[in-house]
């Protein structure tokens, strides 16, 4: 999934989570949902975060590969719990944003192994990254986001 699709998907996902669970300050929560939406792709030097990290991202990619440990539910949990210990709202936000990224990548043809490295639970979809279907999905989600915010 492209960064912008992850971002709008995370935005809506965060709002849904917020309507079911009490996450604390919703603005703080949503900031970290959006922050974490692209975070797993630090293992990809060509991604938004990867480009900012430069050599660090290249090293992560070289050692761990793309869509490895950084695209695992366990890593999402571990990171969120550590952050949660210091600030619950931020911890929830990071978990929701991170999870939305994993779900989003799970819709792509390449798929992800959600339970990496312990066992194999591959989730895979039909989306070609940057393809026409993803672009339509992006526009749809963007429209939906505006609708939700305005009404
Ligand atoms: Zn990803």
- How many domains does the chain fold into? 1
pTM above 0.85, yes or no: yes
CA of 63 to the centre of ligand 1 (A): 16
Encode 94-113: b = buried (16+ Cβ within 10 Å), e = exposed. bbbbbbbbbbbbbbbeeebb
Least confident of 57-61, 114-118, 139-143: 114-118
State the pLDDT at residue 41. Answer: 96
Spatial separation of the C-alpha atoms in residues 83 and 11, rounded to whole Å = 20
Residue 108 phi, psi (nearest 5): -85, 160
Band the pLDDT of 90: cuts 50, 70, 90: very high
Under a CB-based contact definition with an 8 Å cutoff, are residues 23 and 17 in contact? yes
CA of 41 to the centre of ligand 1 (A): 5
Is pLDDT at 18 greater than 90 in this prediction? Answer: yes
What digits encode the pLDDT tens for the residues 30-54? 999 999 999 999 999 999 999 999 9
* Distance linking the first and last C-alpha atoms of the chain: 28
Average pLDDT score, the chain: 95
Residue 115 phi, psi (nearest 5): -105, 20
Band the pLDDT of 104: cuts 50, 70, 90: very high
CA of 144 to the centre of ligand 1 (A): 22
CA of 106 to the centre of ligand 1 (A): 9
| Rounded average pLDDT over 86-102 | 98
Is pLDDT at 128 greater than 90 in this prediction? Answer: yes
Print the domain residue range for 135: 3-150
Is pLDDT at 121 greater than 90 in this prediction? Answer: no
| Rounded average pLDDT over 123-144 | 94
Under a CB-based contact definition with an 8 Å cutoff, are residues 41 and 50 in contact? yes
| Rounded average pLDDT over 83-104 | 98
| Rounded average pLDDT over 63-72 | 92
Percent of the chain scoring above 90 in pLDDT: 89
State the pLDDT at residue 117. Answer: 87
CA of 104 to the centre of ligand 1 (A): 8
Number of other residues whose CB lies within 10 A of the CB of residue 52: 10
């Amino acid at each position: 999934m492209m960064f912008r699709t992850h971002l709008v998907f995370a935005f809506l996902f965060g709002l849904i989570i917020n309507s079911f669970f009490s996450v604390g300050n919703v603005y703080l929560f949503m900031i970290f949902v959006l922050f974490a939406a692209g975070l797993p792709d630090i293992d990809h030097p060509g991604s938004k975060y990867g480009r900012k990290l430069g050599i660090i991202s290249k090293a992560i990619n070289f050692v761990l590969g793309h869509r490895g440990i950084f695209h695992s539910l366990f890593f999402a949990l571990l990171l969120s719990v550590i952050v949660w210990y210091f600030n619950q709202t931020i911890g929830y936000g990071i978990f929701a944003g991170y999870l939305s990224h994993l779900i989003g990548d799970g819709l792509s043809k390449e798929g992800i192994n959600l339970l990496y490295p312990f066992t194999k639970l591959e989730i895979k979809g039909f989306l070609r990254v940057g393809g026409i279907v993803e672009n339509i999905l992006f526009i749809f989600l963007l429209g939906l986001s505006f609708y939700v915010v305005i009404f």
